[in-house]
Structure 1
C-alpha cells in the first residue's frame, strides 16, 4: 500500500523533473506527461491567474519547464478588446510552446449585461468553449440563454467565505441545476474547503455540472486557511483523485497557486510533481 511518504517521494521526483528540464523524448510534440495517464479523462493545466505578475513569454517558459500543456486564459495576457490579429498571434505563441488555451477567465461581469455580451463574443473570437465567470445572480437566466445561443459552457467560480455571492459549490449548484446544461461550476476546491465544505463529497455530488477545477490545497478548513503546495494541505489529494476517476471527470484540473505569486514556479512545480506522483501511485 502506498504511504504518504511514498506520495511525497514521488512528488519530489516530479519536481526535480520539472525544475531540471525533461529529456528530448518528452520535449517532442505529443509526448506530454499528461497525455500518458492511461484511462484518465482529465488533464493538468494552469489557471492563468497564477501568472498575474508575469508576461505571456515568462508564463509559457514556466509551463514548458513543468511540461503542463493547458492554460485558462486571463485577460491580462489576452485583453477582451484584442483584435482578431492579436488573438491569432496569441494562439501561435501558445502553440510554439506546446500549450493550448482551453478556456477564458475568470471574468467579472457584475456591472451590466454588456459585460456578459462582451465575454461571450470574446470567447467566441478566442475559439474556446468555456467561460469561467463571476456574474450577478439576477443575470443567470440571461447568461443561460447566451450559453445556449453560443453553445459555450459557463462555469461560475466559488471564492470562499468572503464571497457573499458564491462561497462554495453548493451555492452555485443550487442556482444552476434547473438552468441550461451549459451552466455549471469552476470548482475551486481550496476555497470550498475554506468555507467548511467537503471538496471530495461535493465533487461526487455535483460532478455533472463541474466544468473546470482550480486545483489547490489549503492550510486549514477555515476562513484563515491559506493556499499551499498541493501535498502540504488539509485536502486529501489521493482521495480527490480517486473521486475524479470514479465520476469520470473529463475537464481540466488547473493549478492555481497563490502562496507566492511573485515567484510561483517552485510551488507550481512541486504541486505538479505531487499530483503526477499521486496519479502514478494510484493507477
Structure 2
C-alpha cells in the first residue's frame, strides 16, 4: 500500500499540470469575457476552406464561420454546401479536429422552402455548429423560430448595407418580435458604417438580441470604404467592445477582413492583437 500513495500523488500532479496547461491555453482575454474570437472564412475566399483554416490558425484563432460555396480542399472534393452527404461532413470534421479549429457558425446562407431550411439546420447540427447566419425572407420567420428551438441552434440575421432588407436594426428588431429567443442579430458593424449608421447606437437598439458579430474597421464612412487594421478606422472598435461588455454579451466575433485578399494574414493578426489588448483594458 505504501507504494500506491506516491503513484497517486504523481498522477494528481500530472492531472493538475495538464489542467493548468489547458486553462492557460483557453485563458485568452476574450475567453475570460465568455467571448469567442474566430474568423469568417470569407476573409480567405481566394483559398480553399482548409487553406483558410491554416490561415486562421496562423492568426492564433480556433473558431471558423464557414461560408457556402467555398471549395473544400484538403483532398475532399466539392464545396462547402449544406446539401453535402454525411460522409463528406465527417471528413471535414475529422480534418478540423486534427487542426484544432471548431466550425462554430455557417453563413451567410438561406433557403427557399421548409425542406431546405430543415436540411440546413440538420447540417449545422451534424457539424456541431452553434449559429446560422442568414438574411431570410420574413415569411419564413415563424418556421425558423420553430427550427431554432427544435435543433437548439441560433439563427443570426445579418445586415448587408442599404438598400438590403435588413440594413437598419429597426427592421431586424421588427422581424424578431414574438419569435424564439434563439433568433437574433449577426451585427456587421462595418456594413452599418457603410449605411451611414453609428455602430454603437445600433448595438444599443439590439441589446439582448445579438447572437454574433462580423467585425470590421473601415477606412472611411462611405460605400467605397475598405477594411483597415482594427483601431485604425472609423468603426469605433473600442466603443463597440465597451458597449458589448456593458450589455453582458456572450458569443462569437467573426473577423471578416475584406481587403488585401491575397495576403491578409498579417492584417488579421494585427487586428486580433489589437482586439485582445483592448479587451484586457475594458473597464
Contact 1:218 1:228 in 2 (8 A): yes
Contact 1:221 1:234 in 2 (8 A): yes
Match of 1:9 in 2: none
Higher alpha-carbon deviation: 33-42 or 49-58: 33-42
Match of 1:153 in 2: 154
| 1:240 positional shift | 1.4
1:223 matched to 2:223? The reply is yes
1:72 to 59, 65, 71: 65
Flag the 1:52–1:37 CA change in 2: closer, same or farther, 3 A.
closer
Looking at structure 1, the residues matched to 95 and 24 of structure 2 have their Cα atoms a distance apart, in angstroms, of 19
Match of 1:142 in 2: 143
| 1:190 positional shift | 0.6
How is 1:28-67 mapped onto 2 (pairs within 5 angstroms)? 31-32=24-25, 35-37=28-30, 39-67=32-60
| 1:115 positional shift | 3.1
Looking at structure 1, the residues matched to 244 and 66 of structure 2 have their Cα atoms a distance apart, in angstroms, of 23
| 1:37 positional shift | 4.6
| 1:177 positional shift | 2.9
Match of 1:90 in 2: 92
Q: Secondary structure at the match of 1:218?
A: coil
Q: Secondary structure at the match of 2:240?
A: helix
Contact 1:132 1:186 in 2 (8 A): yes
Flag the 1:218–1:37 CA change in 2: closer, same or farther, 3 A.
closer
Looking at structure 1, the residues matched to 43 and 101 of structure 2 have their Cα atoms a distance apart, in angstroms, of 16
Looking at structure 2, the residues matched to 206 and 183 of structure 1 have their Cα atoms a distance apart, in angstroms, of 12
Looking at structure 2, the residues matched to 31 and 108 of structure 1 have their Cα atoms a distance apart, in angstroms, of 38
Match of 2:128 in 1: 127
1:176 matched to 2:176? The reply is yes
Looking at structure 1, the residues matched to 26 and 198 of structure 2 have their Cα atoms a distance apart, in angstroms, of 29
Looking at structure 1, the residues matched to 26 and 264 of structure 2 have their Cα atoms a distance apart, in angstroms, of 21
Looking at structure 2, the residues matched to 84 and 138 of structure 1 have their Cα atoms a distance apart, in angstroms, of 30
Flag the 1:100–1:277 CA change in 2: closer, same or farther, 3 A.
same
| Unmatched tracts of structure 2, length 5 or more | 1-20, 73-79
The normalised TM-score by structure 2 is 0.82
| 1:33 positional shift | 6.8
1:234 matched to 2:237? The reply is no
The C-alpha deviation readout for 1:143-191, integer Å capped at 9, x for no partner, is: 222222222211111001141x111323212211321211111110110
Contact 1:41 1:251 in 2 (8 A): yes
The normalised TM-score by structure 1 is 0.82
Looking at structure 2, the residues matched to 151 and 280 of structure 1 have their Cα atoms a distance apart, in angstroms, of 32
Flag the 1:38–1:80 CA change in 2: closer, same or farther, 3 A.
closer
Match of 2:106 in 1: 104
The C-alpha deviation readout for 1:22-74, integer Å capped at 9, x for no partner, is: xxxxxx76644763557412121101211212113321221221110111122
| Unmatched tracts of structure 1, length 5 or more | 1-27
Match of 2:4 in 1: none
RMSD between superposed Cα atoms in Å? 2.1
Q: Secondary structure at the match of 2:225?
A: coil
